[in-house]
A and B are shown apart, each in its own frame.
Chain A
Amino acid sequence: MHNMKYWWARPFYERSTQLFLGILFAALAVVTILHVALPEGHALYVSSYTVTLLGKYLCYALLAVAVDLVWGYLGILSLGHGAFFALGGYAMGMYLMRQIGDRGTYGDPVLPDFMVFLNWDSLPWYWWGFDMAWFAFAMVLLAPGLLALVFGFLAFRSRVTGVYLSIITQALTFALMLAFFRNEMGFGGNNGLTDFKNLLGFNLRTDATRFGLFIATGIALAIGYIVCRAIVGSKLGRVSIACRDAEARTRFLGYRVERVQLFVFVVSAMLAGVAGALYVPQVGIINPGEFSPIFSIEIVVWVALGGRATLYGAVIGAILVNYAKTVFTGVMPDAWLFALGGLFVLVTVFLPQGIAGLLRQRRKRSDDDESPTDAPAKEASA
């Protein structure tokens, strides 16, 4: 298992990854059949609304995988991953705004509505290029990646880790939220960016486009999962675990811990950005609320519930919690936060390894490529 021709091909030989991809694609296929083949009104028909909802869950799942990569395998509890998610979302949102063209309320061919409303006469420089899809999509990766690079460089070089790092990441996302709330920033203030029409020429209001976005998100989740598995299954993944459990020791072995942390952190931020970019066209809006510190904490709760340092646990956690949220907020909206808090407490006390830990106990080390020792030795890094 340690020896493959290409390091990035390793995940395809792992049973756990094969199983994950199998289940994911089977689920996509089932939804496809129920959505496309069944007539509307059939008992099992999956509506376009549900498809979009599922697409949203998959975005959250990808975001949770990104958080699990840094928290589970590197021991860095980021309480600011919402910021990377939102930046990816804004990059996509800016592209979608430019796609509106002169179909806005004010009919300006270049300026988005909110800029006309603010009496701006030209597009700010940081909006340049967002009319081109390739540029905007590159920014989906680069904007969060660059923020993570600068932030991580400063934090890890100064050996800021543990609780202090978590607090700084909270501050980061909070500061960005306040900045994006300001109209002068040029990102639509507290209304954010909305009223999107087209994505790559496809009308966002049609069922077919919504379904396409759902499938695209599923594929993005699969790719993100494989990327993460390739990293954690490599020697670098084992070095990450070493950094998590005994940072000083790793340094004395000759590894530059801060560079390992920086690399993994940047990859994770980029994955979060992709999740944000796929989220925005499906929900139809991006506003500074995505930067809110509470959202970033919620992501961590999904991962904790699903089970840290497993990746698939993060997916399970994100989907289950968000499904529960949808159900709960429909039935009794006021009780949701209590339910989430209660669930978190219960899982922490009775299932410290999360749902994935429960699955693993059942399976009782049936395969060896998903070694049970991936999980943290002690619950110290939280």
Chain B
Amino acid sequence: MSLLTEFAQRDRVFDFLTPSESPVDVRHGPILYLEDVNVSFDGFRAINNLSLTIDDGELRCIIGPNGAGKTTMMDIITGKTRPDSGSVWFGSRHNLLMKSEPYIASLGIGRKFQKPTVFEALTVFENLELAMAANKKVFPTLTAKMTGEARDRIDEVLATIGLAELRERPAGILSHGQKQWLEIGMLLMQKPRLLLVDEPVAGMTEQEMERTAELLISLAGKQSVVVVEHDMGFIRSIARKVTVLHQGSVLAEGTMDQVSNDPEVIKVYLGEEA
């Protein structure tokens, strides 16, 4: 009998027996784990033996010159690009390399694009409604009803991103900065474990940048946040740990001060700006 019980519990031994909807397992530390990832496009090695770990609840900034592979790295994590080799794990249970984009999104990885993409024909409220964590299959979506709970959640996010007054306006009329916030709000509606944010302050005014910094800092801890950014001032204002990418692999990692004093980093990147 005990043998049978043990046999019945084999799902603990064989991971593939666990339902794949199982929560993200972060007991062993990192929420995101990339090892020896390689991608090349027509012979150009966009990602070159990249290894990187992000801890649960961390706010990580990733910098690097153009073509360093920052966006490609995000493409790999979200399932848009398949690497030639290497492994990518979300928690210690989900191998992301086998999964489709919607599936990865449903696991709890949210992504904000470089260019803000919101649904311009829909209202701010509707944008958030569509992003909300829910059963996103066709028929449940067809019959979905707005519950009070969902409305509260949307109101809460609207307040967080400061767009409460524009809720019934089409997203197309928002300013560039407001669209960026709306997109971050859409990520929050998905209740992600990991947020990938690509150049959140591109084209923002100083004030908008400050607000964005506050927003991202307030998110870290509850979620893990990975920010890719060019703007050094902005990075300095939010960063705890910075990773420098260069030619598709990690060049340096540490606090902003450590990184900006690294001679290699100064040579390839900061030298141009500082």
Identify the A interface with B (CB < 8 A).
Answer: 2-4, 7, 231, 234-236, 238-239, 241-242, 244-246, 248-256, 259-260, 263, 371, 373-377
Contact = CB atoms under 8 A, between A and B. Distances in A.
B131 A253 contact: yes
A239 B141 contact: yes
Contacts, number: 96
B138 A256 contact: yes
Interface in B175-195: 186, 190
A231 B139 CA distance: 11
Contacts of B123: 371, 373
Contacts of A251: 101-102, 105
B187 to A, nearest CB: 9
B119 A235 contact: no
Contacts of A3: 145-146
Given A236-B138, A245-B120, A259-B137, A373 B131 contact: no
A373 B137 contact: no
A373 B170 contact: yes
Residue among A235, A249, A252 with max Cβ neighbours from chain B (10 Å): A252
Nearest to A375: B121
B141 A234 contact: yes
B141 A255 contact: yes
A242 B186 CA distance: 13
Interface residues of B, number: 32
Contacts of B142: 7, 231, 234-236, 263
B105 A252 contact: yes
B12 interface: no
A263 B145 CA distance: 19
B106 interface: yes
Most buried by B among A249, A253, A259: A253
B142 to A, nearest CB: 4
Contacts of A238: 119, 122, 126, 129-130
10 closest residue pairs by CB, A with B: A254-B105, A377-B120, A2-B146, A235-B144, A236-B142, A373-B170, A249-B117, A236-B141, A254-B106, A242-B119
Nearest to B170: A373
Interface in B110-129: 110-111, 113, 117-123, 126, 129
Contact of B122 (A7, A241, A248, A260): A241
Contacts of A376: 121
A256 B106 CA distance: 11
Contacts of A374: 121
B186 A248 contact: no
B119 A254 contact: no
Interface string B131-161: 1000011100111111000000000000000
A260 B139 CA distance: 9
Say whether chain A's binding surface is mostly helix, strand, loop, or mixed.
helix
Q: Which of A4, A263, A373, A377 has the largest number of chain B CB atoms within 10 A?
A: A373
B122 A242 contact: yes
A52 B180 CA distance: 55
B54 to A, nearest CB: 19
Given A239-B130, A242-B122, A245-B119, 17 more contacts: A3-B145, A234-B144, A235-B129, A235-B130, A238-B122, A250-B130, A251-B102, A252-B78, A252-B101, A253-B105, A253-B131, A253-B190, A256-B137, A373-B121, A373-B123, A373-B170, A377-B172
A371 B190 CA distance: 26
A373 B168 CA distance: 11
Nearest to B143: A7
A10 to B, nearest CB: 10
28 contacts: A2-B129, A7-B143, A234-B143, A235-B130, A236-B142, A238-B126, A239-B130, A239-B141, A241-B122, A242-B130, A244-B121, A245-B119, A246-B118, A246-B119, A249-B113, A251-B101, A252-B101, A252-B111, A253-B130, A253-B186, A253-B190, A254-B136, A255-B130, A259-B137, A263-B138, A373-B122, A376-B121, A377-B172
Contacts of A260: 138, 141
B231 to A, nearest CB: 24
B69 to A, nearest CB: 20
Given A235-B142, A235-B144, A252-B101, A246 B130 contact: no
Contacts of B145: 2-4, 7
Contacts of B102: 251-252, 254-256
Contacts of B126: 238
Nearest to A263: B138
Contacts of A245: 119-121
Interface in B52-104: 78, 101-102
Which one of B102, B143, B190 has the greatest number of beta carbons of chain A within 10 Å? B102
